[in-house]
Amino acid sequence: MRLFVAIVPPSAALEELAAAVDPLRAARPGLRWTTAEDWHLTLAFLGEVAGEVLPELGRRLERAAARHPAQRLAITGGGAFPGRTRARVLWAGIQAGPGLAALAASVAAGARRAGAPPPDEGRRYRAHLTLARCREPASLTAETDALTALAGTPWTATDIHLIRSNLARRADQADDPVSPPRPARYEELGAWPLRR
C-alpha cells in the first residue's frame, strides 16, 4: 500500500487557500488540479509499504509525534517545482518555525526504523501543499506570481496522520496501461497527537 505521513490543515485554512486558487483553476483548466479535501502537508512520503509493517510503523509515529510540540503554521506564498518556467508541480508554501523540519525528520527516522524507509529521506525538507500537476513541463509564472501575496491566517497543527493513497484505475481502464489512473483517493489509517 502507498503511504505518507502528513498534517491536515483545518477547514478555515483550506477555505482561504481555495479562495486564492479558484481563479487560477478557472484560468488553467488543462492542469491536473488537486481538490481542497485532498490538500495536506506531507511530512514523509513512504511509498509502497507492506501491511505487516503497519503495527510497528504506528508505534514509531506515535513516539515521533509525542517528542514534538504542536506546530504554528500558515499557508503563505507559492511556487513551482522544479522552477516556474518548466514546472511540473504548482504548490502553496507553508510558514513554519524550525520545529516542522525536525518533526519531518523524526517521522522519517521512525518510518525507517519500522521498516518503511522514505525513498526521499535525506533530501532537504520543503514544506508545501501541492495544488496542481502538469502533464508536461510548462510555464507557471502567472500562477506563482498570483500566489506571491497569499498570506493565510496562522493555525496550530496538533496531530500527524498516516494516510493511504489509493491509485485505483476505473473499471474501463483495467486493461489500459496508457490512460492515467484516477486522481488518488486518500484514506486515513491513524493519527497521533503532537506534544501539548
175 pLDDT band (50/70/90 cuts)? low
For range 80-92, the mean pLDDT: 97
With beta carbons less than 8 A apart as the criterion, state whether 34 and 14 touch: no
**What is the bridge-based pairing of β-strands 87-95 and 71-81?**
antiparallel
pLDDT, the chain, mean? 92
Q: Which of 150, 168, 135, 133 is nearest to 34 (CA)?
A: 133
Domain topology for 2-168+186-193:
Cyclic Phosphodiesterase; Chain: A, (3.90.1140)
Q: For residues 110 and 45, give the distance between their C-alpha atoms in angstroms, rounded to a whole number.
A: 12
What does the pLDDT read at residue 186?
92
For range 161-178, the mean pLDDT: 67
In the chain, what percentage of residues exceed pLDDT 70? Answer: 92
For residue 118, CA distances in Å to 8, 49, 90, 121, 159 come to 19, 10, 22, 5, 20
* pLDDT digit string, tens, across residues 46-83: 999 999 999 999 999 999 999 999 999 999 999 999 99
Cell 501541492, located at residue: 130
pTM equals: 0.89
SS3 129: strand
Which of 71-75, 104-108, 116-120, 179-183 shows the lowest per-residue confidence on average (mean pLDDT)?
A: 179-183
Helix spans in the chain (H): 11-27, 54-66, 99-114, 141-147
